[in-house]
Amino acid sequence: MLISQAPGTAAHRSGMPFNDPSGERLRRWLGVSSESFYNPAHFSLLPMGFCYPGKGKGGDLPPRPECAKLWRSQLLAQLTNVQLTLLVGAHAVNWHLLKPKESLSDLVADWRSRWPDTVVLPHPSPRNTYWLRQRPWIEDTVVPMVRERIAELLGSSSIRP
């Protein structure tokens, strides 16, 4: 299960989550093809909001909180075979880890404490490129472990070479 924030403008227009440069980076991190990523037998894509929340000063606005309150528990109850939960970005982390006191960077670095069931990842947005460059250990350490875990769960046929 991949939990993220609300869709951005490109995903909103296309009607497909992560159908943008963020999705390209995310699929590269996960080591999966688009076909596998959008296959509901492989991934449950569950945003914090289903609609584009609009533009703010520093980028997109956060997901509207009333959205998750309305439908989140109902959808989560239907997902009975979740073997790995990926919390992607601060909005998903704050909701599912109940507004942690630790920084997102610290939560990503502490990946072993929730392994192998839950992993915190930063949002793969191009807006985060500078932040990610300041933390090369994410792509050097955490991403390969996540990719390996996904390969294990999906079997090698679904994994990109």
The CATH number covering residue 109 comes to 3.40.470.10
Beta-bridge mates of residue 120: 87
Name the pTM for this structure.
0.89
Q: Which of 8-12, 64-68, 88-92, 156-160 has the highest mean pLDDT?
A: 88-92
pLDDT band with cut points at 50, 70 and 90 for residue 99: low
Return the structure tokens found at 129: 């490129």
Q: Note whether residue 47 is domain-resident.
A: yes
Q: What is the pLDDT of residues 34-50, one digit of tens each?
A: 999 999 999 999 988 87
Residue-range definition of the domain harbouring residue 73: 2-156
The total domain count for the chain is 1
Q: Note whether residue 98 is domain-resident.
A: yes
Residue 158: the pLDDT is 47
Q: Note whether residue 61 is domain-resident.
A: yes
CA 19 to chain centre: 13
Mean pLDDT of the 52-60 span:
79
Q: Note whether residue 132 is domain-resident.
A: yes
Q: What is the pLDDT of residues 124-155, one digit of tens each?
A: 999 999 999 999 999 999 999 999 999 999 98
Q: Note whether residue 51 is domain-resident.
A: yes
Mean pLDDT of the 56-85 span:
86
Q: Note whether residue 84 is domain-resident.
A: yes
Which residue has 């992993």 as its token pair?
119
Q: Note whether residue 102 is domain-resident.
A: yes
Residue 138: the pLDDT is 98
8: nearest Cα among 65, 67, 58, 60 = 60
Q: Note whether residue 161 is domain-resident.
A: no
